[in-house]
Structure 1
Amino acid sequence: MSSSNPTTEPARIVIAVDGTSGSGKSSTSRGVADRLGMRFLDTGAMYRAMTWWMLSNDIDVHDADAIAAAAGKPVITSGTDPLAPTIALDGADVSVEIRSDKVNAAVSPVATVPEVRARLIALQQQEIRDALAAGSGIVVEGRDIGTAVWPQADLKLYVTADPAARAARRAAEEG
């Protein structure tokens, strides 16, 4: 992991970042993590990876029982370098695939399945424990970080933007 200020000792804290879609929370989170020499975790990418796996394995994303039964199967690995975050599924990089319209349309029903949430929250908590054990802090971006994933976060932020700015960011991401 590189940092714009490599002489700075990494903060050994957990920063939880939640917020509205298109508010800039991802780029802000990555920038803060880089600047402070911390790790970065995009929890939304984990839900998208789970969804991509379900779609790729012909699991009906509207069948909560089928999703629950399969939730423990995929191996999801998150890279935590803020300058080059990655997401791998069963050893293959799926960073591009998880941003597809197909995944966008299916991620909500998959993410609401309790077994999926439990599995991914456990993985997220392990990433946080690993970062702290390594002497590094971590900026964790996504939904429910400061309430369900790591309630004891040292700093909890909620990022928002006015609707016009959010729409412009979303259009730029899709274009």
Structure 2
Amino acid sequence: MALRGVVAMDGPSGTGKSTVSRRLAQACSAAYLDTGAMYRAATLAALRAGLGEGATEDEIARAAIGARLESGTDPVAPTITLDGEDVSGPIRGPEVTGFVSAVSAVPQVRAEMVARQHALIRAAVGSGGGMVVEGRDIGTVVVPDAPLKVYLTASPEVRAARRGRQDEKAGRKADLHVTLADVERRDRLDSSRRVSPLYAAADALVLDTDRLSADAVLAKLRELVSARGLDG
């Protein structure tokens, strides 16, 4: 099964979006793009420039846009590098998680990241292949004409528990109450920012993953790909 075109995967953190997006791309012999990792790498660049709360939008934009970011699109082993360094691990740390919503809300940063995302999508689709693109504004801003848009959702409690398990698996300290508070904080920030807020596109399929395993979600997505005639 090969994917033709773009599948836009949106939703907040902890819905299983990354897991199923990567697995869908692998199952469909497609490229994969984690746009959230791009914003996290930009956030790490800002932090390494000594910026944090209180920094101006212009300061954040200069640090984030000036950094050399490269995103790999292999779903088996996706990579993200910052100035030549693999930062797949560091971008998942608490400092980046605490600051990424602020960096992502800067209009200049979003414009630059979307331009880079468009270039990667064109390269994948232009060669006759497909790409699964995940993020928070894919179906609404990045690829509003995507032939398949999916918005994954789940309760904050379920998402916090999932993220806690991910952190523990990666060797990061996890506290459920702290994680839940952070999930709810990010939901508020991402949904209320003035540029590219998080919401489901009008023509997106909204899929609640509270009671669905990753296998069940993947099976549903593969059915949708076939139903839309995107399997080459």
Among candidates 107, 125, 128, match of residue 132 of structure 1? 125
**Is the radius of gyration larger for structure 1 or structure 2?**
2
Identity of aligned residues (%): 51
Query: Paired residue for 2:147?
Result: 154
Instruction: Describe the superposition over 1:111-163 as per-residue Cα deviations: whole angstroms up to 9, x where unpaired.
Output: 11111000000011111000012221000000110111111111000011234
What amino acid is the match of 1:42?
A: D
Give RMSD over aligned pairs.
1.3
Aligned length: 167
Unaligned runs of 5+ in 2: 169-232
Task: State the TM-score, normalized to the length of structure 1.
Answer: 0.90
Offset at 1:58? 1.6
Residues 4-23 of structure 1 mapped to structure 2, 5 A cutoff: 8=1, 10-23=2-15
Q: Extract structure 1 runs of 4+ deviating beyond 2 A.
A: 59-62, 68-72, 161-165
Query: Paired residue for 2:85?
Result: 92
Query: Paired residue for 2:49?
Result: 57
What amino acid is the match of 1:64?
A: E
Unaligned runs of 5+ in 1: 1-7
Query: Paired residue for 1:81?
Result: 74
C-alpha distance in 1 between matches for 2:61 and 2:90: 22
Offset at 1:90? 1.3
Task: State the TM-score, normalized to the length of structure 2.
Answer: 0.69
